[in-house]
Structure 1
Amino acid sequence: MWKEFFSSIGIDSVKVDTILEKQTAAPGETVKGRILLEGGQADEPIEKIQVLLYLQYEEVQEYSDFSWHDKHIEEVNIELNRNIKSGEKETIPFSIKLPENSPKTNDKHKWYIRTKVFVDQAVDPEDEDQIIVQ
Protein backbone atom coordinates (compact mmCIF):
# COMPACT_ATOMS: atom_id res chain seq x y z
CA MET A 1 0.00 0.00 0.00
CA TRP A 2 2.73 2.52 0.92
CA LYS A 3 4.71 1.77 -2.25
CA GLU A 4 1.68 2.67 -4.41
CA PHE A 5 1.03 5.84 -2.39
CA PHE A 6 4.62 7.07 -2.61
CA SER A 7 4.74 6.30 -6.35
CA SER A 8 1.54 8.28 -6.94
CA ILE A 9 3.09 11.42 -5.42
CA GLY A 10 6.36 10.99 -7.33
CA ILE A 11 8.58 9.34 -4.70
CA ASP A 12 10.42 6.30 -6.12
CA SER A 13 8.14 6.32 -9.17
CA VAL A 14 8.90 5.77 -12.86
CA LYS A 15 12.08 7.48 -14.06
CA VAL A 16 12.66 8.77 -17.59
CA ASP A 17 15.89 9.71 -19.31
CA THR A 18 16.09 10.85 -22.93
CA ILE A 19 19.32 10.04 -24.76
CA LEU A 20 19.96 11.91 -28.02
CA GLU A 21 22.11 10.28 -30.73
CA LYS A 22 23.74 13.69 -31.33
CA GLN A 23 23.58 16.90 -29.32
CA THR A 24 23.84 19.03 -32.49
CA ALA A 25 21.60 19.24 -35.53
CA ALA A 26 21.07 21.32 -38.65
CA PRO A 27 17.80 23.01 -39.68
CA GLY A 28 15.54 20.43 -41.35
CA GLU A 29 17.43 17.50 -39.82
CA THR A 30 15.68 14.67 -37.98
CA VAL A 31 16.76 14.36 -34.36
CA LYS A 32 16.90 10.75 -33.19
CA GLY A 33 17.23 9.24 -29.77
CA ARG A 34 15.85 6.79 -27.28
CA ILE A 35 13.79 7.08 -24.15
CA LEU A 36 14.93 5.05 -21.16
CA LEU A 37 12.14 4.10 -18.76
CA GLU A 38 12.78 2.54 -15.38
CA GLY A 39 9.98 1.32 -13.15
CA GLY A 40 9.81 2.59 -9.59
CA GLN A 41 9.07 0.63 -6.45
CA ALA A 42 5.50 -0.20 -7.54
CA ASP A 43 3.90 -1.23 -10.85
CA GLU A 44 2.46 1.86 -12.57
CA PRO A 45 0.08 2.29 -15.52
CA ILE A 46 1.63 4.36 -18.32
CA GLU A 47 -0.77 5.89 -20.81
CA LYS A 48 1.69 7.45 -23.25
CA ILE A 49 5.00 9.22 -23.70
CA GLN A 50 5.15 12.67 -25.26
CA VAL A 51 8.30 13.98 -26.94
CA LEU A 52 8.00 17.74 -27.41
CA LEU A 53 10.33 19.91 -29.49
CA TYR A 54 10.23 23.55 -28.50
CA LEU A 55 12.10 26.75 -29.12
CA GLN A 56 12.89 29.10 -26.25
CA TYR A 57 13.44 32.63 -27.50
CA GLU A 58 14.11 36.03 -25.98
CA GLU A 59 11.77 38.84 -26.90
CA VAL A 60 10.44 41.73 -24.88
CA GLN A 61 6.63 41.79 -25.12
CA GLU A 62 4.51 44.51 -23.54
CA TYR A 63 1.91 42.03 -22.25
CA SER A 64 4.47 39.84 -20.44
CA ASP A 65 6.76 40.33 -17.45
CA PHE A 66 9.15 37.75 -18.88
CA SER A 67 11.58 38.17 -21.74
CA TRP A 68 12.03 34.42 -22.46
CA HIS A 69 9.17 32.53 -24.13
CA ASP A 70 8.59 28.93 -25.18
CA LYS A 71 7.18 28.06 -28.61
CA HIS A 72 5.82 24.56 -29.21
CA ILE A 73 7.22 23.41 -32.56
CA GLU A 74 6.55 19.67 -32.91
CA GLU A 75 5.53 16.68 -30.82
CA VAL A 76 5.50 12.92 -31.06
CA ASN A 77 3.12 10.85 -28.93
CA ILE A 78 3.96 7.22 -28.23
CA GLU A 79 0.93 5.30 -26.97
CA LEU A 80 1.81 2.61 -24.40
CA ASN A 81 -1.33 1.90 -22.37
CA ARG A 82 0.34 -0.72 -20.19
CA ASN A 83 1.87 -1.17 -16.77
CA ILE A 84 5.57 -0.76 -16.21
CA LYS A 85 6.59 -3.19 -13.52
CA SER A 86 8.66 -2.33 -10.47
CA GLY A 87 12.33 -2.21 -11.51
CA GLU A 88 11.56 -2.93 -15.18
CA LYS A 89 13.74 -1.18 -17.76
CA GLU A 90 12.61 -0.38 -21.28
CA THR A 91 14.15 1.56 -24.17
CA ILE A 92 11.90 3.24 -26.76
CA PRO A 93 13.33 4.86 -29.92
CA PHE A 94 11.98 8.16 -31.27
CA SER A 95 12.66 10.74 -33.96
CA ILE A 96 11.46 14.30 -34.41
CA LYS A 97 12.21 16.72 -37.24
CA LEU A 98 13.48 20.28 -36.92
CA PRO A 99 11.80 22.77 -39.27
CA GLU A 100 13.77 23.82 -42.37
CA ASN A 101 13.73 27.45 -41.22
CA SER A 102 14.94 26.74 -37.66
CA PRO A 103 16.91 29.62 -36.15
CA LYS A 104 20.37 28.63 -35.00
CA THR A 105 21.10 28.31 -31.30
CA ASN A 106 22.51 31.58 -29.97
CA ASP A 107 22.02 34.07 -27.11
CA LYS A 108 18.38 34.62 -28.12
CA HIS A 109 17.32 31.14 -29.36
CA LYS A 110 17.59 27.81 -27.55
CA TRP A 111 16.16 24.45 -28.63
CA TYR A 112 14.94 21.71 -26.27
CA ILE A 113 13.36 18.29 -26.30
CA ARG A 114 11.09 17.64 -23.33
CA THR A 115 9.98 14.07 -22.66
CA LYS A 116 6.95 13.51 -20.46
CA VAL A 117 5.63 10.14 -19.30
CA PHE A 118 1.89 10.16 -18.58
CA VAL A 119 1.30 7.96 -15.52
CA ASP A 120 -2.36 7.41 -14.61
CA GLN A 121 -3.29 9.15 -11.32
CA ALA A 122 0.31 10.02 -10.42
CA VAL A 123 2.99 12.65 -10.89
CA ASP A 124 4.17 12.61 -14.52
CA PRO A 125 7.98 12.28 -14.73
CA GLU A 126 9.78 14.52 -17.24
CA ASP A 127 13.20 14.96 -18.79
CA GLU A 128 14.59 17.84 -20.81
CA ASP A 129 17.60 17.99 -23.11
CA GLN A 130 19.02 20.90 -25.10
CA ILE A 131 19.80 20.61 -28.82
CA ILE A 132 22.36 22.86 -30.48
CA VAL A 133 21.10 23.93 -33.92
CA GLN A 134 24.05 24.93 -36.12
Structure 2
Amino acid sequence: MFEKWLSSIGIGGATVDAVLNQETIQPGKEAKGVIKLTGGKADQPVTTIELKLIVEYYRDDPDSETHYLCETIESHKIDVIDIVHEGEHRTIPFSFPVPLHAPMTTEEQKMAIETIVHIPNGKNCSDRDEVDVFHPLYMKTLEVVKALRFSPSTGYGRCTKEKGGHLKQRFTFSCPKDVYKIETLTLCFEARPHDPLLIIGINETEYIYKGLQPPDGFTEDAFREVFRPYKSNP
Protein backbone atom coordinates (compact mmCIF):
# COMPACT_ATOMS: atom_id res chain seq x y z
CA MET A 1 0.00 0.00 0.00
CA PHE A 2 1.28 3.46 -0.90
CA GLU A 3 2.19 5.71 2.02
CA LYS A 4 3.01 9.42 1.90
CA TRP A 5 4.45 10.72 5.17
CA LEU A 6 2.94 14.14 5.78
CA SER A 7 4.54 15.05 9.08
CA SER A 8 6.49 13.77 12.05
CA ILE A 9 5.97 15.78 15.21
CA GLY A 10 7.89 15.21 18.42
CA ILE A 11 6.07 16.19 21.61
CA GLY A 12 7.87 15.49 24.85
CA GLY A 13 9.11 11.96 24.43
CA ALA A 14 6.33 10.89 22.06
CA THR A 15 6.04 11.12 18.25
CA VAL A 16 2.96 11.77 16.14
CA ASP A 17 3.23 10.79 12.46
CA ALA A 18 0.55 11.60 9.87
CA VAL A 19 0.58 9.25 6.88
CA LEU A 20 -1.56 9.54 3.73
CA ASN A 21 -2.53 6.25 2.07
CA GLN A 22 -2.61 7.66 -1.47
CA GLU A 23 -0.18 9.39 -3.81
CA THR A 24 -2.66 12.10 -4.77
CA ILE A 25 -5.97 13.33 -3.40
CA GLN A 26 -8.95 14.15 -5.60
CA PRO A 27 -11.75 16.70 -5.17
CA GLY A 28 -15.08 15.05 -4.43
CA LYS A 29 -13.43 11.99 -2.88
CA GLU A 30 -11.99 11.06 0.50
CA ALA A 31 -8.43 11.65 1.66
CA LYS A 32 -7.50 8.62 3.75
CA GLY A 33 -4.60 7.81 6.00
CA VAL A 34 -3.50 7.02 9.53
CA ILE A 35 -2.07 8.78 12.55
CA LYS A 36 0.76 6.79 14.14
CA LEU A 37 1.38 7.48 17.82
CA THR A 38 4.67 6.31 19.30
CA GLY A 39 5.34 6.67 23.00
CA GLY A 40 8.70 7.81 24.29
CA LYS A 41 10.35 7.43 27.66
CA ALA A 42 7.51 9.14 29.50
CA ASP A 43 3.72 9.41 29.21
CA GLN A 44 2.47 12.30 27.04
CA PRO A 45 -1.12 13.63 27.16
CA VAL A 46 -2.72 14.56 23.82
CA THR A 47 -6.27 15.89 23.44
CA THR A 48 -6.86 16.40 19.71
CA ILE A 49 -5.06 15.99 16.40
CA GLU A 50 -6.22 18.31 13.64
CA LEU A 51 -5.63 18.02 9.89
CA LYS A 52 -6.09 21.03 7.62
CA LEU A 53 -6.10 21.15 3.82
CA ILE A 54 -4.48 24.46 2.92
CA VAL A 55 -4.17 26.45 -0.30
CA GLU A 56 -1.73 29.30 -0.83
CA TYR A 57 -3.06 32.09 -3.02
CA TYR A 58 -2.06 35.50 -4.32
CA ARG A 59 -4.05 38.60 -3.40
CA ASP A 60 -3.42 41.84 -5.25
CA ASP A 61 -4.24 44.31 -2.49
CA PRO A 62 -2.53 47.72 -2.72
CA ASP A 63 -3.33 48.35 0.97
CA SER A 64 -1.42 45.29 2.16
CA GLU A 65 2.27 44.41 2.20
CA THR A 66 1.40 40.70 2.25
CA HIS A 67 0.33 39.32 -1.11
CA TYR A 68 0.73 35.56 -0.57
CA LEU A 69 -1.83 34.23 1.92
CA CYS A 70 -3.10 30.83 3.03
CA GLU A 71 -6.66 29.59 3.39
CA THR A 72 -7.97 26.42 5.00
CA ILE A 73 -10.56 24.82 2.72
CA GLU A 74 -11.17 21.68 4.80
CA SER A 75 -10.34 20.61 8.35
CA HIS A 76 -10.73 17.37 10.27
CA LYS A 77 -10.32 16.70 13.99
CA ILE A 78 -9.37 13.42 15.61
CA ASP A 79 -10.27 13.30 19.28
CA VAL A 80 -7.62 11.44 21.24
CA ILE A 81 -8.24 12.86 24.75
CA ASP A 82 -5.84 10.35 26.15
CA ILE A 83 -2.29 9.68 27.16
CA VAL A 84 0.31 8.27 24.79
CA HIS A 85 1.95 5.87 27.19
CA GLU A 86 5.64 5.14 27.47
CA GLY A 87 6.75 2.81 24.66
CA GLU A 88 3.23 2.58 23.23
CA HIS A 89 2.48 2.12 19.51
CA ARG A 90 -1.00 3.09 18.34
CA THR A 91 -2.56 3.68 14.91
CA ILE A 92 -5.67 5.82 14.35
CA PRO A 93 -7.25 5.82 10.86
CA PHE A 94 -8.65 9.06 9.43
CA SER A 95 -10.57 10.20 6.38
CA PHE A 96 -11.98 13.54 5.33
CA PRO A 97 -13.70 14.84 2.19
CA VAL A 98 -11.69 16.83 -0.33
CA PRO A 99 -13.94 19.75 -1.45
CA LEU A 100 -14.96 19.89 -5.10
CA HIS A 101 -13.59 23.43 -5.28
CA ALA A 102 -10.08 22.43 -4.14
CA PRO A 103 -7.51 23.81 -6.63
CA MET A 104 -5.35 21.49 -8.69
CA THR A 105 -1.64 21.23 -7.92
CA THR A 106 0.70 22.70 -10.56
CA GLU A 107 4.29 23.96 -10.55
CA GLU A 108 2.86 27.42 -9.79
CA GLN A 109 0.22 26.28 -7.29
CA LYS A 110 0.96 24.30 -4.16
CA MET A 111 -1.37 22.59 -1.72
CA ALA A 112 -0.52 21.31 1.75
CA ILE A 113 -1.87 19.33 4.68
CA GLU A 114 -1.05 20.75 8.09
CA THR A 115 -1.03 18.48 11.14
CA ILE A 116 -1.65 20.13 14.51
CA VAL A 117 -1.26 18.27 17.80
CA HIS A 118 -3.21 19.86 20.66
CA ILE A 119 -1.63 19.37 24.08
CA PRO A 120 -3.51 20.14 27.30
CA ASN A 121 -2.09 23.13 29.16
CA GLY A 122 0.80 23.33 26.74
CA LYS A 123 1.92 24.75 23.41
CA ASN A 124 0.39 23.05 20.38
CA CYS A 125 2.80 21.53 17.85
CA SER A 126 2.33 21.57 14.08
CA ASP A 127 3.96 20.57 10.83
CA ARG A 128 3.00 21.10 7.19
CA ASP A 129 3.81 19.15 4.05
CA GLU A 130 2.85 19.55 0.39
CA VAL A 131 0.24 17.24 -1.11
CA ASP A 132 -0.69 16.61 -4.74
CA VAL A 133 -4.28 17.39 -5.73
CA PHE A 134 -5.44 15.89 -9.04
CA HIS A 135 -8.60 17.44 -10.48
CA PRO A 136 -9.95 15.29 -13.37
CA LEU A 137 -12.46 17.92 -14.50
CA TYR A 138 -9.88 20.70 -14.69
CA MET A 139 -7.33 18.41 -16.32
CA LYS A 140 -9.69 17.18 -19.01
CA THR A 141 -10.71 20.75 -19.87
CA LEU A 142 -7.06 21.88 -20.05
CA GLU A 143 -6.07 18.94 -22.23
CA VAL A 144 -8.77 19.92 -24.73
CA VAL A 145 -7.22 23.40 -25.03
CA LYS A 146 -3.73 21.95 -25.46
CA ALA A 147 -5.06 19.69 -28.24
CA LEU A 148 -6.13 22.86 -30.06
CA ARG A 149 -2.43 23.91 -30.12
CA PHE A 150 -2.45 26.31 -27.18
CA SER A 151 0.63 26.15 -24.90
CA PRO A 152 0.84 26.84 -21.13
CA SER A 153 2.62 30.10 -20.27
CA THR A 154 3.82 31.99 -17.19
CA GLY A 155 1.66 31.76 -14.08
CA TYR A 156 -0.05 28.55 -15.24
CA GLY A 157 -2.44 27.37 -12.51
CA ARG A 158 -1.81 30.09 -9.93
CA CYS A 159 -4.63 30.83 -7.47
CA THR A 160 -5.80 34.37 -6.75
CA LYS A 161 -8.49 35.80 -4.55
CA GLU A 162 -10.08 39.20 -4.47
CA LYS A 163 -11.11 40.66 -1.15
CA GLY A 164 -14.38 39.01 -0.13
CA GLY A 165 -14.44 36.81 -3.23
CA HIS A 166 -13.91 33.17 -4.16
CA LEU A 167 -10.62 31.49 -4.99
CA LYS A 168 -9.85 31.55 -8.70
CA GLN A 169 -7.35 29.26 -10.38
CA ARG A 170 -6.04 30.77 -13.61
CA PHE A 171 -4.41 28.89 -16.47
CA THR A 172 -2.77 31.12 -19.09
CA PHE A 173 -1.87 30.04 -22.62
CA SER A 174 0.11 31.31 -25.54
CA CYS A 175 -1.77 31.07 -28.83
CA PRO A 176 -1.00 29.72 -32.32
CA LYS A 177 -1.00 32.88 -34.45
CA ASP A 178 -1.57 30.98 -37.69
CA VAL A 179 -4.87 29.59 -36.37
CA TYR A 180 -6.44 32.24 -34.12
CA LYS A 181 -6.29 36.03 -33.78
CA ILE A 182 -5.90 35.75 -30.04
CA GLU A 183 -3.31 37.71 -28.08
CA THR A 184 -4.07 36.16 -24.68
CA LEU A 185 -6.12 33.18 -23.53
CA THR A 186 -6.94 32.53 -19.87
CA LEU A 187 -9.05 29.76 -18.38
CA CYS A 188 -10.19 30.69 -14.90
CA PHE A 189 -11.93 28.18 -12.64
CA GLU A 190 -13.78 30.05 -9.91
CA ALA A 191 -14.00 27.85 -6.84
CA ARG A 192 -17.62 28.16 -5.80
CA PRO A 193 -18.47 25.12 -3.65
CA HIS A 194 -21.81 24.28 -5.32
CA ASP A 195 -21.76 26.25 -8.57
CA PRO A 196 -18.28 26.25 -10.16
CA LEU A 197 -17.65 28.72 -12.95
CA LEU A 198 -15.40 28.53 -15.98
CA ILE A 199 -14.38 31.98 -17.18
CA ILE A 200 -12.71 32.01 -20.59
CA GLY A 201 -10.76 35.20 -21.19
CA ILE A 202 -9.92 36.00 -24.81
CA ASN A 203 -8.03 39.26 -25.31
CA GLU A 204 -10.19 41.66 -23.26
CA THR A 205 -13.46 39.68 -23.47
CA GLU A 206 -14.72 37.24 -20.85
CA TYR A 207 -17.13 34.35 -21.44
CA ILE A 208 -18.69 32.95 -18.27
CA TYR A 209 -20.08 29.42 -18.03
CA LYS A 210 -21.90 28.14 -14.92
CA GLY A 211 -22.28 24.66 -13.54
CA LEU A 212 -19.13 23.13 -15.02
CA GLN A 213 -19.65 19.51 -14.02
CA PRO A 214 -17.98 16.10 -14.59
CA PRO A 215 -17.33 14.02 -16.52
CA ASP A 216 -16.77 16.01 -19.70
CA GLY A 217 -15.99 19.49 -18.46
CA PHE A 218 -15.86 21.86 -21.41
CA THR A 219 -15.65 19.87 -24.66
CA GLU A 220 -13.52 20.48 -27.75
CA ASP A 221 -16.62 21.36 -29.79
CA ALA A 222 -17.61 23.93 -27.18
CA PHE A 223 -14.16 25.53 -27.30
CA ARG A 224 -14.18 25.58 -31.12
CA GLU A 225 -17.47 27.46 -31.00
CA VAL A 226 -16.03 30.05 -28.60
CA PHE A 227 -12.88 30.45 -30.70
CA ARG A 228 -14.72 30.55 -34.06
CA PRO A 229 -14.95 34.41 -34.30
CA TYR A 230 -11.18 34.59 -33.70
CA LYS A 231 -10.05 32.24 -36.46
CA SER A 232 -7.32 33.64 -38.69
CA ASN A 233 -9.00 32.18 -41.76
CA PRO A 234 -12.77 32.06 -41.07
Q: For residue 116 of structure 2, what is the aligned residue in structure 1?
A: 116
Distance 1:62 1:116, change over 3 A: same
In 1, Cα distance between equivalents of 2:75 and 2:131: 15
Q: Secondary structure at the match of 1:87?
A: coil
Aligned match of 1:4: none
One-letter identity of the residue aligned with 2:21: E
1:32 — aligned with what?
32
Separation in 1 of the partners of 2:103 and 2:62? Answer: 23
Contact 2:73 2:102 in 1 (8 A): no
Q: Give the Cα–Cα distance (whole angstroms) in 2 for the partners of residues 58 and 80 of structure 1.
A: 36
1:47 aligns with 2:47: yes
- Structure with greater proportional strand content: 1
* 8 Å contact from structure 1 (residues 16, 125) kept in 2: no
Match of 1:91 in 2: 91
Distance (Å, rounded) in 1 between the aligned partners of 2:95 and 2:68? 26
TM-score by length of 1: 0.79
Q: Distance in 1 between matches of 2:79 and 2:92?
A: 11
Bigger radius of gyration, 1 or 2?
Answer: 2
Give percent identity, aligned residues only: 33
Q: Distance in 2 between matches of 1:57 and 1:23?
A: 23
For 2:110, the aligned partner's letter is: K
Aligned residues of 2:46 and 2:118 also touching (Cα < 8 A)? yes
Distance 2:81 2:126 in 1: 18
Deviations 1:57-103 (A, max 9, x none): 23333343233211011111111211111222211111121111222
Residues in 2 aligned to 1:67 and 1:73: alpha-carbon distance in whole angstroms = 19
Q: Is contact 1:58-1:108 (8 Å) kept?
A: no
CA distance in structure 1 between the aligned counterparts of 2:110 and 2:87, rounded to whole angstroms: 34
1:106 CA displacement: 2.0
Residues in 1 aligned to 2:11 and 2:99: alpha-carbon distance in whole angstroms: 37
Per the TM alignment, residue 13 of structure 1 is displaced from its structure 2 partner at its CA by 3.2
Q: Decide whether aligned partners of structure 1 residues 39 and 61 sit closer, same or farther in structure 2, where only a CA change above 3 A counts.
A: farther
> C-alpha separation between the residues in 2 aligned to 1:63 and 1:14?
44
Distance change >3 Å, CA 69–CA 22, structure 1 → 2: same
Q: Deviations over 1:27-85 (max 9, x none)?
A: 22211111112223321211111111111223333343233211011111111211111
- Contact 1:23-1:130 within 8 A present in 2 as well: no
Cα distance, 1:125–1:36 mapped onto 2, change above 3 Å: farther
Cα distance in structure 2, aligned partners of 1:48 and 1:11: 13
Amino acid at match of 1:115: T
Structure 2 Cα separation of the partners of residues 49 and 124 of structure 1: 10
Tell me the C-alpha RMSD between the 2 structures: 2.0
Q: Name the structure 1 match of 2:71.
A: 71
Distance in 2 between residues matched to 1:72 and 1:112, nearest whole Å:
10
> 1:5: which partner in 2?
none
Unmatched segments (≥5 aa) in structure 2: 1-9, 135-234
